[in-house]
Structure 1
Amino acid sequence: SPAKLLTDPFAHGRFLMKCANETVTIELKNGTIIHGTITSVSPQMNTALRTVKMTQRGRDPISLDTINLRGSTIRYYILPDSLPLDTLLIDDAPKPKNKARKEVADRGAVRGGRGRGGPRGRGGFRGGGGGGDRGGGRGRGGGGGGGRGF
């Protein structure tokens, strides 16, 4: 369905991962043209190619066995016309289940999960909070509240 097409930030990387063994032309941001066969693509679009012809701007082409390209240096890919884009663009990656999502959300939530600076508000983990019969809770002034309940 069209709604599932490339909905997350790394989907382009996953789409390109499906293009392994395809022969593509890649233009880099510095104008270099690279023609070769994809061996792998990372989610960051880092791309490994084999059987490569590299043409730097204003120079003769160079043949290479392999090359690794950093994703951030790539301007665009020219894909073969024969590639079935409609089937490749469908996002078939399994969505994380609720339990897995909850575990990710809970990560680092030990003791309030606040890093440095401790808990917010009154009391804390050191003996206290509550305030006993001193008028307790919120607001300014009066009641002598909070502190250690002695």
Structure 2
Amino acid sequence: MKLVKFLMKLNNEKVQVELKNGTVISGEIISVTPSMNINLKNVKMTIKHRNPISLEYVNIRGNQVRLVILPDELNIDSIISDSMLKPKNLSTVAPVQKAKAPIRGGRRGRGRARAF
């Protein structure tokens, strides 16, 4: 399972996100996009060597995330096993091939066809 898919299932969980510039942001996950953009609410943001700031909402761009710290109470096994139970593709029968359209100009190639 990819990390992004895992994070997308963590709605309303309290997490800590550390950014590449050293800023630490903690809050509740609202949503996570496939590009790993993270929306948080009830946020406490601590910029490196400064006092913490409280914010209502924050959107974090995915490529700026260094790491995500999950709560100790989170049951990771149940989240992973839920995703593993769903089959990816149920079709075991080979797909029916479509009839090929006729090729323009036949199979001669370019130019006129000459008999030798």
Q: TM-score range by the shorter chain?
A: 0.7 to 0.9
Match of 2:63 among 48, 72, 82: 72
1:129 match: 107
Higher relative contact order (CA 8 A, sep 6+): 2
Give 1:128 shift: 4.1
1:148 maps to a residue whose letter is R
Instruction: Return the TM-score normalized by structure 1.
Output: 0.60
Contact 1:128 1:148 in 2 (8 A): no
Larger Rg: 1
Could you say which structure has the higher strand fraction?
A: 2
| DSSP-derived class of the 2:4 partner | helix
1:46-67 CA distance string (max 9 Å, x none):
1000000001111111111000
Match of 1:40 among 31, 36, 55: 31
2: CA distance between counterparts of 1:94 and 1:20?
23
Instruction: Return the TM-score normalized by structure 2.
Output: 0.76
Q: What's the % identity of the aligned pairs?
A: 46
Give 1:98 shift: 4.3
Give aligned pairs, total: 104
The answer as to 2:14 corresponding to 1:23 is yes
Question: Would the alpha carbon gap of residues 62 and 86 (structure 1) be closer, same or farther in structure 2, given more than 3 Å must change?
Answer: same
Task: Structure 2: give runs of 5+ residues left out of the alignment.
Answer: 96-100
1:97-112 correspondence runs (5 A): 97-98=90-91
Task: Structure 1: give runs of 5+ residues left out of the alignment.
Answer: 1-5, 103-110, 112-123, 132-145
Give 1:45 shift: 1.2
1:119 match: none
